[in-house]
Structure 1
Amino acid sequence: MTRKTAVKRKESMADRVYEALKDDIFEFRLIPGDKFSEGDVGTRLSASRTPVREALYRLQREGYVEVLFRSGWQVKPFDFQQVEELYDLRITLERAAMHKICALDEPPQALRTLTAIWNPDHPSERAVGSTVRALDESFHCDLVAAAGNREMTRIHREITDRLRIIRRLDFTRDDRVDATYKEHSEILAAIRAGEATVAADKLTQHIRTSQKAVREITMERIREAAEAHRGGRKIAPESA
């Protein structure tokens, strides 16, 4: 085996461990506060120490886990105060983007593309599951990018990445999917009409409603997982 092949294989294993652990956290098979060791992960995923450590450090940088002094690792507890602050910053950026877009001489191409996505001819044409989650994230990111400020776009993308673990839960209920289509359509209509303040206000209400929903769902999922743990029904995290 060449050195290049060995490095590539190691990177592939680290990616596999990373994706497996991240999925366990996102699906609440590992809940906030759960502790584990590198050896536990390595045994479960048939991985050596180096790729396991690389995956854990990557998750640590992204804010999902934290290392404990001489005690292994822990799924990082939710900091709801930090989440509130990230939502506040997100709203500030997206409101500013609404005003910038409405002030453009020509509507951006992204506006036409988003309008087509969020105004389907028939409800059966709506996206479902992970697809609607991805489309929702793109909706907000594409609008900010359409404002033309690269630094605003970069910071907004970082906030989006940090909020993804809870925002994804907003689409586990049909009523939230219906509301998202309706509210996105109304926001786009206000932008097309050049009504920046109306668009910004509708956007703010939309985000706050989603924020409240995902917090409630998150707390519910954590309670359910914690009860399963205490009842001896803890589901072993799935391997990659």
Structure 2
Amino acid sequence: MQILTSQKPKERPDNMVERIYQQLKDDIFEFRLLPGDRFSESEVAERVQASRTPVRQALYRLEREGYLQVYFRSGWQVKAFDFQYFEELYDVRIVLESAAVARLGHMDIHSNPVIAELKNTWLVTEVERVQDGARVSALDERFHCALVEAAGNTEMARMHFEITEKIRIIRRLDFTQAPRIDATYAEHGQILDAILQRRTEQAQQLLKHHIDISKQEVRKITLHRLHTARQRNVPGT
């Protein structure tokens, strides 16, 4: 009599690459892999229980996105944070989002479904506010991307989304503290109100101030998180 045994389905190659990519990206985002850390493809392959081929594909994807550097004779290294680079990206965000707000000032925004979505998310009572930092981070990203999307320029929206992807590693840290979550709701509400009232210059000023504050906060939080993570990795501490 033949005995049937249940076997775990073999993981598809593309799914395996995605899994390894997400795992490594999470390690970088959560400071389990620190800027300057070096490792080999073999070490990663052993840790994620995969062959070197999908590991290499995942690593090169992270390299293209700016998180890793490859040294052909000595493996891979997590790239150091270049705060000047990130701050320049924040400045480009201000330019793009201010231009989007200017375009919205000449549009019928009250029938715009994207603006309606933002009102439903941000113009809410304190009791209705989301308090989970990860969810607020995603909603914040959506707020800024949606403003550009609502303006109707697809190329502008594409450029803005690419910048959003690049700064996500530090931007999400802005929502690890409750006061920043409350401030984000208040500031987004003020920006939306100014846009709805067609006070374009005020909306642009509020937007610039909001992004500038976020830029300062994430720099402080990132430096603190890096210091804490390094202290954790020092023997005897």
Q: Smaller-chain TM-score range? A: over 0.9
1:44 alignment partner AA: R
5+ residue gaps, structure 2, are: 1-8
Q: TM-score by structure 1 length?
A: 0.91
2:164 alignment partner AA: T
In structure 2, the partner of 1:59 is 62
Instruction: Compute the displacement of 1:104 (Å).
Output: 0.8
Instruction: Compute the displacement of 1:231 (Å).
Output: 2.6
Structure 1 residue 98 and structure 2 residue 101: aligned? yes
Instruction: Compute the displacement of 1:130 (Å).
Output: 1.5
CA contact (8 A) 1:120 1:126 kept: no
Aligned-CA RMSD value: 1.5
Distance between the aligned counterparts of 2:143 and 2:185, measured in 1? 11
In structure 1, the partner of 2:80 is 77
Provide the aligned length of Structure 1 versus Structure 2: 228
2:76 alignment partner AA: W
In structure 2, the partner of 1:44 is 47
Q: Which moved more, 1:9-18 or 1:183-192?
A: 9-18
In structure 2, do the counterparts of structure 1 residues 38 and 155 end up closer, same or farther at CA, with 3 Å as the change threshold?
same
Runs of 4+ in 1 over 6 A off after TM superposition: none
Instruction: Compute the displacement of 1:229 (Å).
Output: 1.9
Give the % identical residues.
52
Q: String of CA shifts for 1:154-209, please: whole Å, max 9, x gaps.
A: 00000000000000000000000000000000000000000111001000000000
Q: String of CA shifts for 1:73-127, please: whole Å, max 9, x gaps.
A: 0001111111111111110000111110111134322112211211223424424
Work out which of the two has the higher radius of gyration on C-alpha atoms and give 1 or 2. 2
Q: Which moved more, 1:220-229 or 1:35-44?
A: 220-229
The one of 196, 200, 206 equivalent to 1:202 is 206
Distance between the aligned counterparts of 2:126 and 2:200, measured in 1? 28
Secondary structure at the counterpart of residue 66 of structure 1? strand
In structure 2, do the counterparts of structure 1 residues 106 and 167 end up closer, same or farther at CA, with 3 Å as the change threshold?
closer
Distance between the aligned counterparts of 2:129 and 2:208, measured in 1? 27
Instruction: Compute the displacement of 1:232 (Å).
Output: 5.9
Q: TM-score by structure 2 length?
A: 0.92
Higher relative contact order (CA 8 A, sep 6+): 1
Distance between the aligned counterparts of 1:20 and 1:67, measured in 2? 18
